[in-house]
Amino acid sequence: MLLIPCPYCGPRPELEFAYAGEAGIVRPANAAALDDDAWGAFLYQRSNPRGPHDERWRHLHGCARFFNARRDTVTDVFAATWKVGEAAP
Amino acid sequence: MGMQRFSGFALARQTLSGHAGWGRQWRSPEPKAAYDAVIIGGGGHGLATAFHLARDHGLRHIAVLEKAWVGGGNTGRNTTIIRSNYLFDASARLYDHAVKLWEQLSQTLNYNVMFSQRGVLMLAHNVHDVQSFKRHVHANRLNGVDNEWLSAEEAQEFCPPLRIDGGMRYPVLGAALQRRAGTARHDAVAWGYARAADALGVDIIENCAVTGIVRNTQGAVEAVETTRGRIATPKIGVVAAGNTSVVMGMAGVRMPLESYPLQALVSEPVKPVFPCVVMSNTIHAYISQSDKGELVIGAGTDAYISYSQRGALHISSHTLEAICELFPQFRRMRMLRNWGGIVDVTPDRSPIIAKTPVQGLYVNCGWGTGGFKATPGSGHLFAWTMAKDEPHEINAPFTIERFRDGRLIDEAAAAAVAH
């Protein structure tokens, strides 16, 4: 089980959190103008890297807030977490 | 070629010479400078692909590149369950194609893969499960796939260790039974395909990691870079399971995949106590007994993407709680080993067996938490797709472009959980 450093509450066990997928995927402002390739890519393509990964978590059973994290997907070590709206370190 | 055939006669002859005459089952060749086709990934699916390319399509210069050892990835890490009771027409055709090949596989490969059609029982624990499984039973029958509905009492008769009294948090209300489903010996599948492919001239190159995919000025593939040098080839088949996104990234292709750890564990070996396979999607438990006597137990995936080949303890604990509730007689059994494999999951939980936007590059991936069952069919269909540069009718729906066109094969919604 991971120990996840919530930027609002501090380190808490993984069971308190919900994983919310890759970070930084922005819904296109004018979706109707997109072609099918771009819309399909937005919906379904993911980086899925072997190494550092920027991702979202939600501290569901704590402060209930979303935040961003950078975790290494080989070691599962968290390098950083930061609040929504803050710049990535 | 020089394959030593296994038979009762060969066994008797070797017995007379103290079993000193069994040769290596496949060669360990140095990579050549060029091949007609290169398969990236020496698991069951990749080796089966090479076997069918060589046997059915006449390709003679084929290499399988494996970064570690044959069958050391998900092929050696799964719970060996084989079934074809999928909801949608395309899925039922795909997985039942594999079951039909499983039924002949030991003879096809001259290798005992210990395929055992002991039946897979899928438990229903609530009204939704009952309705969903009955729908599966009817859909399967329309597609020629055997599946039948059992009451809780009938399920217990089929699997005597199963508890069906009303005192459980998730009582057993009934079950769907596929009698043609079962298990096979996973290592033997990798070894049998490796041996048979090698006998057809396929070079199986272990300890050879692919580090790059080289494309020519027209964009088509022309070579792979590996830790054992550059290998020229006009056709590359990527069969890299959890590492597919990484390998496809070398060719500049982004995939609709995410890789998750999936855990399994085995108990201490005991005498035969468990006659079939039991699965419960609702409470996340999968159990059978291997021929060595170990209970083989499958758990769910971790919540987050990872390449760690481990899983969290709370995931396996959750599964063991479910197993102990369903089969109280196992409460005092000890677990011997647990491990994780990295499974590549598509958004609709159906695989991709297809051409790619890059000429000469083909991909077989997205088998998620249930790829072992498809091994022979997957190899057969992917070899067809690579050899003819067009899909077989069975795998034609399983494209990458379905995620652009919206033609999903949504087994994820049909099963509601990992399957």
Output the average pLDDT for chain B: 95
Task: Tell which of B305, B318, B349 to mutate to test the A interface (max A CBs under 10 Å).
Answer: B305
- Judge whether A29 lies within some domain: no
Interface residue A52 vs chain B (CB under 8 A): no
Same domain as B384, residue B250: yes
Separation between Cα atoms, residue B129 and residue B123, nearest integer Å: 8
CA–CA min distance B253, chain A (Å): 10
Residue A12, SS3 per DSSP: strand
Write out the two tokens for B178. 């596929």
CB B57 within 8 A of CB B383: yes
Q: pLDDT-derived band of residue B419, with 50, 70 and 90 as boundaries? A: very low
A49 vs B contacts (CB less than 8 Å) = 245-246
Interface residue A44 vs chain B (CB under 8 A): yes
Q: pLDDT-derived band of residue B2, with 50, 70 and 90 as boundaries? A: low
Kindly determine whether residue A73 and residue B305, on different chains, have CB atoms separated by under 8 Å.
yes
Residue A53, SS3 per DSSP: strand
Chain B contacts in chain A segment 53-82 (CB below 8 A): 53, 55, 71, 73-76
Mean pLDDT confidence for B125-135: 94
End-of-domain residue from the set B298, B317, B345 = B345
- Judge whether B301 lies within some domain: yes
Position of tokens 């604990």?
B317
A73 vs B contacts (CB less than 8 Å) = 259, 305-308
Read off the amino acid at residue B10.
Answer: A
Separation between Cα atoms, residue B194 and residue B135, nearest integer Å: 39
Q: What is the pLDDT of residues B236-277, one digit of tens each?
A: 999 999 999 999 999 999 999 999 999 999 999 999 999 999
Question: Residue B416 pLDDT > 60, yes or no?
Answer: no
Q: What is the pLDDT of residues B368-411, one digit of tens each?
A: 999 999 999 999 999 999 999 999 999 999 999 999 999 999 99
Same domain as B408, residue B359: yes
- Judge whether B6 lies within some domain: no
Kindly determine whether residue A48 and residue B258, on different chains, have CB atoms separated by under 8 Å.
yes
Interface residue A35 vs chain B (CB under 8 A): no
Separation between Cα atoms, residue B160 and residue B283, nearest integer Å: 20
Same domain as B364, residue B247: yes
Mean pLDDT confidence for A3-25: 97
End-of-domain residue from the set B345, B369, B398 = B345
Burial B131-167 (b: 16+ CB within 10 A, else e): ebbeebbebbeebebbbebbebebbbebbebbbbeee
Question: Residue B418 pLDDT > 90, yes or no?
Answer: no
**Segments forming the whole domain that contains residue B150:** 117-180+258-345
The two beta strands, B236-238 and B37-40, are: parallel
Question: Residue A86 pLDDT > 70, yes or no?
Answer: yes
Kindly determine whether residue A48 and residue B245, on different chains, have CB atoms separated by under 8 Å.
yes
Kindly determine whether residue B259 and residue A41, on different chains, have CB atoms separated by under 8 Å.
no
Write out the two tokens for B161. 């260790």
Same domain as B268, residue B221: no
Q: pLDDT-derived band of residue B1, with 50, 70 and 90 as boundaries? A: very low
Same domain as B141, residue B151: yes
Kindly determine whether residue B304 and residue A1, on different chains, have CB atoms separated by under 8 Å.
no
In this prediction, residue B3 carries a pLDDT of 77
Largest CA-CA distance found in chain A, in angstroms, rounded: 43
CB B307 within 8 A of CB B109: no
Q: How many C-beta neighbours within 10 Å does residue B406 have?
A: 10
Residue A67, SS3 per DSSP: strand
CATH number, domain containing residue B65: 3.50.50.60
CATH number, domain containing residue B286: 3.30.9.10
B313 vs A contacts (CB less than 8 Å) = 1
A55 vs B contacts (CB less than 8 Å) = 304-305
- Judge whether A47 lies within some domain: yes
Overall number of domains in chain A: 1
Mean pLDDT confidence for A45-70: 98
Kindly determine whether residue A50 and residue B246, on different chains, have CB atoms separated by under 8 Å.
yes
Q: Is the dihedral of CA B263, B269, B273, B277 positive or negative?
A: positive
Mean pLDDT confidence for A61-88: 96
CATH number, domain containing residue A61: 3.30.2270.10
Kindly determine whether residue B404 and residue A36, on different chains, have CB atoms separated by under 8 Å.
yes
Same domain as B239, residue B161: no
Kindly determine whether residue B255 and residue A48, on different chains, have CB atoms separated by under 8 Å.
yes
CA–CA min distance A85, chain B (Å): 22
Q: What is the pLDDT of residues B17-65, one digit of tens each?
A: 999 999 999 999 999 999 999 999 999 999 999 999 999 999 989 999 9
- Judge whether A88 lies within some domain: no
Question: Residue B417 pLDDT > 90, yes or no?
Answer: no
B405 vs A contacts (CB less than 8 Å) = 36, 40
**Segments forming the whole domain that contains residue A13:** 3-24+39-83
B409 vs A contacts (CB less than 8 Å) = none
Mean pLDDT confidence for B310-334: 94
Q: pLDDT-derived band of residue B283, with 50, 70 and 90 as boundaries? A: confident
B403 vs A contacts (CB less than 8 Å) = 40, 43-45
Separation between Cα atoms, residue B398 and residue B355, nearest integer Å: 10
Overall number of domains in chain B: 2
pTM score, whole prediction: 0.96
Which has the closest alpha carbon to B198: B21, B66, B389, B72? Answer: B66
- Judge whether B196 lies within some domain: yes
Task: Tell which of B246, B302, B403, B404 to mutate to test the A interface (max A CBs under 10 Å).
Answer: B404
Separation between Cα atoms, residue A78 and residue A8, nearest integer Å: 16
End-of-domain residue from the set B322, B345, B368 = B345
In this prediction, residue B284 carries a pLDDT of 85
Output the average pLDDT for chain A: 96
